[in-house]
């Protein structure tokens, strides 16, 4: 059955205690220290990862803010460019219209000058014809004074002032 030997039990307990003390002092302590160091490194790694994640989130927020600001500035630049283009287009159209109006006015003035010149030429030709007709009617040669008087009389019957150039 069971024989209890007190001496063996005491030596077994002393050996167990000494073994436990030696293991605790030289094995469990260093192992626990290694486990604590590893735990600390893991905790530091988690903290570093968390800091890195927070930094990445901050940088992402800055990037999004910068991107939004740049997009806003780009929209403003595009709006200014559109506005400038529109105002330039309006200025070019206004200048073209003004230039066309000037050319039309110059053409009208040229037509008026040409009409007056043509009327003067017609007046001269009418005077020459009147003189020829008067010469034939009178069948004699007239003096310069007679010519001038006949021309003036012939022209008094024709009213050139009523003839105005056509305006379009």
Q: Tens-of-pLDDT digits for all 168 residues of the chain?
A: 567 788 888 999 999 999 988 888 888 888 888 999 999 999 999 999 999 999 999 999 999 999 999 999 999 999 999 999 999 999 999 999 999 999 999 999 999 999 999 888 888 888 787 777 777 776 566 677 877 887 788 777 766 666 565 655
Give the pLDDT confidence score for residue 113 in this predicted structure: 92
Residue 113 domain boundaries: 24-157
Domain-located, residue 131: yes
pTM value surpassing 0.85:
no
Structural domains of the chain, count: 1
Domain-located, residue 5: no
Domain-located, residue 146: yes
Domain-located, residue 10: no
Secondary structure (DSSP) of the chain: -----HHHHHHHHHHHHHHHHHIIIIIIHHHHHHHHHHHHHHHHHHHHHHHHHHHHHHHHHHHHHHHHHHHHHHHHHHHHHHHHHHHHHHHHHHHHHHHHHHHHHHHHHHHHHHHHHHHHHHHHHHHHHHHHHHHHHHTSPPPHHHHHHHHHHHHHHS--TT------
Domain-located, residue 121: yes
């Amino acid at each position: 059955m069971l024989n209890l030997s007190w001496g063996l039990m005491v030596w077994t307990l002393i050996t167990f205690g000494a073994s436990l003390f030696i293991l605790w002092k030289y094995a469990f302590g260093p192992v626990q220290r290694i486990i604590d160091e590893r735990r600390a490194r893991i905790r530091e790694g988690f903290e570093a990862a968390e800091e890195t994640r927070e930094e990445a989130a901050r940088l992402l927020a800055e990037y999004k803010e910068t991107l939004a600001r740049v997009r806003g500035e780009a929209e403003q630049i595009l709006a200014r460019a559109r506005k400038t283009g529109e105002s330039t287009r309006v200025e070019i159209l206004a200048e073209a219209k003004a230039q066309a109006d000037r050319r039309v006015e110059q053409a009208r003035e040229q037509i008026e000058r040409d009409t007056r010149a043509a009327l003067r030429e017609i007046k001269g030709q009418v005077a020459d014809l009147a003189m020829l007709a008067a010469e034939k009617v009178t069948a004699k040669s007239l003096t310069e004074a007679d010519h001038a008087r006949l021309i003036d009389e012939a022209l008094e019957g024709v009213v050139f002032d009523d003839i105005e150039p056509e305006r379009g």
